[in-house]
Amino acid sequence: MAQFSIEIADQDVNRVLNAVAKNYNRSEKVENPAFDPGLPESPATNPREIDNPESVPVFVNRIVRQFLSENVRAFEVKEAKRVAAEQANQNANPNISDPQLP
């Protein structure tokens, strides 16, 4: 499988990661899947929210992969529409007649 990579200057890594995380609304906290609504909410034993287990770098990597996939899909849909329109235009005027008219 091919790899696609980019380089970010060391001094810019946090800047880039934080910008993407903020632009794509990464939450610092997420709902706790183990939260028990039948018990009292407690930050120590039964928190409603927990720290986001998806780190900023992992989040940004996922967002970049999603961005690339969406762009490929959008391009392919646009290209398929273009080809379909060309094919439809080649046969745009079907021969239709009324046999009851001279």
Residues found in the chain: 102
Rounded to 5 degrees, what are φ and ψ at 31? -60, 140
Mean pLDDT of 39-55: 96
Bridge partners of 30, per DSSP, are 50
Residue 83 structure tokens = 């080809």
Helix, strand or coil for residue 45? coil
Residue 8 structure tokens = 């970010």
Question: For residue 102, what pLDDT band results from cuts at 50, 70 and 90?
Answer: confident
What value does the mean pLDDT of the chain take? 95
Q: What span, in angstroms and rounded, lies between the C-alpha atoms of 36 and 46? A: 7
Global pTM reads: 0.78
